């Protein structure tokens, strides 16, 4: 059935050529003066603006802050997600009832709850981290459930033979057995944490990369805005590439 | 079978009730002003649904969402069929679709605003940007996993390219398309709403931001509740269709 299936995920020579062609076209269009420089700036100008922006200590601090929020949110979401996954897996009836909630979870603009977090957690990084946790947790829950479903029945038997209590069984047997799926889910959750953190900074906060981009937009610094977007996009692509490699390695080494 | 169904529905109702109680408890702990309780939220939602201003916002969001969903599905399926059928096209453009899926798209919104101007076009474009790449990737995946016998049969019957697409390719990848519709349904909604939350003057997203600005939490919760009911119902119905199509 799947003998011809392949997924062109890796960047292929053609795709690099296509990208270079697009960049060249954009550069030409901008230099020909067909678009106003307040709307679209040439790729070379974007690159220059990015380098200028990244030389400022304030911008670097913004990037550091955003990354720190993403890492913290992912760590908390992983813990919360694995625990929730284990709990839901142990209670199949509850899990089946939860399915519609899981399915519509990511359609919601949950960062509208940000004001609630601000009142509870105060101004600053903490409400943003809370929003990130909210978004990132669900993908870990789903991955943990998928992983637990794939654990062979004999593993449960072994845990019972050794008379492990449920906590020990989870820690010694179940979690290690579905580590590849869980790690895959955590890698995915980094992306969700990024989206939530950047979106909250963008719409509601007064710090971080998201806010720096809005600030550049509102003050008509178009070049700086494109430079920051480019820097952030490159960062995300880099992190995703690394995580994908990591996931591939984990999947190969898994049981 | 029907017994299992009723039991499942009863379970979902029970769980919803449990979640409402948790919501109520958290709201009591934090105070009604910070997090309005379920009853307060529902009352506000009913009151809002009678207001012409709210209905205008609802309609603005609904229209933009319908257009964005249509464009994202049409464009995504079209591109997916192309990328799936042609190896060169797939290898050239699909890696960039994966990049587009991964980037937090909010950061691209100022660029969309500059390109499309302030107004409905920008938020529709933003909704399409959220939904289209995933639909294209899923459709292309569906085309690639087709059994080669379908292509052979089409060649044996000397179908023209268009008839092949319409009579064989589209029906064969229909399960993937419906599965993609379910995901696009959620993504495009989020895209349109986030688009309305920034630099917009109407729609539910704008109402959310305006309510946050004046600390009107009952309205915020009422809008979130309405969106949750809509997204939950839509995605459950589509999930049922996916299960039926897959047999």
- The helices-and-strands tally (H runs, E runs) of chain B is 12, 0
Alpha-carbon separation of residue A165 from A82, A126, A186 (angstroms): 18, 36, 26
**Helical residues (DSSP H) of chain A, grouped into ranges:** 13-32, 43-55, 57-90, 92-104, 114-121, 125-150, 153-161, 166-168, 175-177, 179-203, 208-218, 222-253
- Distance from the Cα of B156 to chain A's closest Cα (Å) equals 20
Mean pLDDT, chain A, integer = 84
The two tokens of residue A43 are 């790729």
Beta carbons of A198 and B103 less than 8 Å apart: no
Q: Is residue B38 part of a domain?
A: no
pLDDT at B78: 94
Higher-confidence residue of A7 and B178: namely: B178
pLDDT at B245: 80
pLDDT at B88: 86
Nearest to A85 by CA among A198, A179, A211: A179
The two tokens of residue B76 are 């995504």
User: How many domains are contained in chain B?
Assistant: 2
pLDDT at B115: 86
The domain ranges of chain A are 12-40, 42-253
pLDDT at A69: 95
Question: Do residue B3 and residue B85 come from a single domain?
Answer: no
For B229, the domain range is: 44-245
Per-residue pLDDT for A250 more than 90?
no
Report DSSP state, residue A12: P
Contacts of A148 (CB under 8 A, 6+ apart): A85, A86, A89, A174, A178
> Which residue carries 């009579």 as its tokens?
B167
Looking at the partner chain, which of A15, A109, A209 has a beta carbon nearest the beta carbon of B197? A109
Q: Is residue B39 part of a domain?
A: no
Average pLDDT over residues B109-120: 85
Average pLDDT over residues A197-223: 88
Per-residue pLDDT for A5 more than 50?
no
pLDDT at A249: 74
Question: Which of A19-23, A107-111, A158-162, B137-141: highest mean pLDDT?
Answer: B137-141
User: What is the value of ipTM here, to two decimals?
Assistant: 0.77
Instruction: Identify the CATH number of the domain defined by range A42-253.
Output: 1.10.3720.10
Higher-confidence residue of A106 and A128: namely: A128
Least confident of A105-109, B109-113, B162-166: A105-109
Q: How far apart are CA A75 and CA B214, in angstroms?
A: 33
Looking at the partner chain, which of B104, B227, B234 has a beta carbon nearest the beta carbon of A199? B104
Q: Is residue B37 part of a domain?
A: no
Beta carbons of A115 and B217 less than 8 Å apart: yes
Per-residue pLDDT for B75 more than 80?
yes
User: Cβ contacts (< 8 Å) between B11 and chain A: which residues?
Assistant: 93-94, 96-97
**B161, B118 Cβ separation under 8 angstroms:** no
pLDDT at B99: 83
| Residue to substitute from B86, B102, B108, B200, interface A, most A β-carbons within 10 A | B102
pLDDT at A173: 85
User: Cβ contacts (< 8 Å) between A103 and chain B: which residues?
Assistant: 182, 232, 235-236, 239
Q: How far apart are CA A131 and CA A138, in angstroms?
A: 12
Alpha-carbon separation of residue A70 from A17, A232, B150 (angstroms): 33, 13, 46
User: Cβ contacts (< 8 Å) between A40 and chain B: which residues?
Assistant: 114-115
**A1, B148 Cβ separation under 8 angstroms:** no
- pTM for this model (two decimals): 0.83
Please report, rounded to a whole number, the percentage of residues in chain A having pLDDT higher than 70: 92
Mean pLDDT, chain B, integer = 89
Average pLDDT over residues B216-221: 90
Q: Is B226 on the interface with A (CB under 8 A)?
A: no
Confidence class of residue A200 from pLDDT cuts 50, 70 and 90? Answer: confident
CA dihedral A141→A146→A151→A153, nearest 10 degrees, is 110
pLDDT at A1: 33
DSSP for B23-44, written as a single string:
HHHHHHHH-TTTS--HHHHHHH
The two tokens of residue A210 are 């998201």
Condensed to tens digits (0 to 9), the pLDDT of residues B80-105 reads 999 998 888 888 888 888 888 878 88
Looking at the partner chain, which of B12, B30, B104 has a beta carbon nearest the beta carbon of A120? B30
- Distance from the Cα of A220 to chain B's closest Cα (Å) equals 11
| Residue to substitute from A26, A46, A50, A108, interface B, most B β-carbons within 10 A | A108
Condensed to tens digits (0 to 9), the pLDDT of residues B11-41 reads 888 888 999 999 999 999 988 888 899 999 9
Question: Do residue B84 and residue B113 come from a single domain?
Answer: yes
Report DSSP state, residue A108: S
Q: How far apart are CA A108 and CA A210, in angstroms?
A: 20
Question: Do residue B79 and residue B156 come from a single domain?
Answer: yes
Looking at the partner chain, which of A7, A38, A108 has a beta carbon nearest the beta carbon of B231? A108
Q: How far apart are CA B194 and CA A109, in angstroms?
A: 7
Residues 92-121 of B with CB under 8 A from A: 92-96, 98-99, 102-111, 113-115
Per-residue pLDDT for A7 more than 70?
no
Q: What is the CATH number of the domain that holds B61?
A: 1.10.3720.10
- Distance from the Cα of B158 to chain A's closest Cα (Å) equals 22
Condensed to tens digits (0 to 9), the pLDDT of residues A27-85 reads 888 888 787 777 788 888 889 999 999 999 999 999 999 999 999 999 999 999 999 99
pLDDT at B28: 92
Burial zone of B215 (CB within 10 Å; 0-12 exposed, 13-18 middle, 19+ buried): exposed
Question: Do residue B11 and residue B65 come from a single domain?
Answer: no
- Distance from the Cα of B91 to chain A's closest Cα (Å) equals 5
- Distance from the Cα of B163 to chain A's closest Cα (Å) equals 23
Please report, rounded to a whole number, the percentage of residues in chain B having pLDDT higher than 90: 39
Q: Is residue B105 part of a domain?
A: yes
- Distance from the Cα of B73 to chain A's closest Cα (Å) equals 16
Burial A194-231 (b: 16+ CB within 10 A, else e): bbbbbbbbbbbbebbbbbbbbebbeeeebbbbbbbbbb
Higher-confidence residue of A237 and B25: namely: B25
Condensed to tens digits (0 to 9), the pLDDT of residues B186-206 reads 889 989 998 898 878 889 999
Burial zone of A31 (CB within 10 Å; 0-12 exposed, 13-18 middle, 19+ buried): exposed
> Which residue carries 């939602």 as its tokens?
B45
pLDDT at B139: 93
Q: Is residue B36 part of a domain?
A: no
Nearest to A171 by CA among A159, A180, A161, A183: A159
Alpha-carbon separation of residue B142 from B82, B100, B137, B170, B237 (angstroms): 12, 20, 9, 10, 22
């Amino acid at each position: 059935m799947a003998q011809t299936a392949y997924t062109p995920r890796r960047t292929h020579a053609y795709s690099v050529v296509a990208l270079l062609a697009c960049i060249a076209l954009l550069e030409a269009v901008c230099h020909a003066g067909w678009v106003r420089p307040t709307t679209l700036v040439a790729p070379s100008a974007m690159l220059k603006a990015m380098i200028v922006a990244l030389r400022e200590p304030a911008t670097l601090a913004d990037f550091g802050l955003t990354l720190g929020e993403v890492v913290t949110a992912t760590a908390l979401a992983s813990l919360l997600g694995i625990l929730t996954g284990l709990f839901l897996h142990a209670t199949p009836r509850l899990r089946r009832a939860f399915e519609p909630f899981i399915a519509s979870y990511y359609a919601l603009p949950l960062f509208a709850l940000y004001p609630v977090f601000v009142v509870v957690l105060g101004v600053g990084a903490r409400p943003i981290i809370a929003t990130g946790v909210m978004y990132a947790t669900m993908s870990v829950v789903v991955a943990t459930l998928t992983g637990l479903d794939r654990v062979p029945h004999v593993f449960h038997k072994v845990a019972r033979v050794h008379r492990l209590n449920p906590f020990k069984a989870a820690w010694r047997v179940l979690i290690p057995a579905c580590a590849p799926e869980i790690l895959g889910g955590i890698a995915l959750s980094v992306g969700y944490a990024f989206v939530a953190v950047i979106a909250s900074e963008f719409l509601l906060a007064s710090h971080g990369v998201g806010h720096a981009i809005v600030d550049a937009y509102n003050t008509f610094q178009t070049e700086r805005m494109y430079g920051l977007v480019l820097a952030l996009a490159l960062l995300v692509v880099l992190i995703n590439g690394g995580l994908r490699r990591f996931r591939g390695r984990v999947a190969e080494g898994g049981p | 079978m029907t017994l299992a169904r009723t039991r499942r529905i009863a379970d979902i109702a029970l769980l919803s009730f449990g979640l409402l109680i948790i919501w109520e408890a958290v709201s009591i702990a934090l105070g009604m002003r910070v997090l309005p309780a379920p009853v307060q939220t529902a009352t506000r939602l009913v009151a809002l649904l009678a207001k012409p201003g709210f209905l205008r916002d609802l309609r603005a969001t609904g229209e933009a969402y319908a257009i964005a969903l249509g464009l994202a599905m049409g464009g995504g399926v079209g591109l997916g069929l192309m990328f799936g059928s042609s190896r060169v096209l797939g290898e050239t453009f699909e890696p960039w679709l994966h990049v587009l899926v991964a980037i937090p798209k909010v950061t691209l919104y100022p660029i969309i605003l500059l390109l499309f101007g302030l107004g409905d076009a920008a938020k529709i474009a933003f909704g399409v940007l959220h939904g289209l790449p995933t639909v294209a990737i899923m459709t292309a995946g569906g085309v690639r996993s087709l059994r080669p016998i379908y292509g052979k049969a089409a060649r044996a019957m000397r179908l023209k390219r268009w008839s092949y697409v319409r009579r064989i390719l589209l029906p064969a990848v229909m399960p993937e398309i419906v599965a993609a519709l379910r995901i696009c349904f959620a993504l495009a909604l989020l895209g349109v709403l986030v688009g309305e939350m920034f630099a917009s003057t109407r729609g539910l997203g704008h109402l959310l931001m305006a309510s946050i600005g004046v600390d009107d939490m009952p309205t915020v919760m009422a809008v979130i509740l309405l969106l949750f009911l809509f997204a939950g119902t839509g995605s459950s119905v589509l999930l049922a269709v996916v299960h039926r199509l897959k047999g």
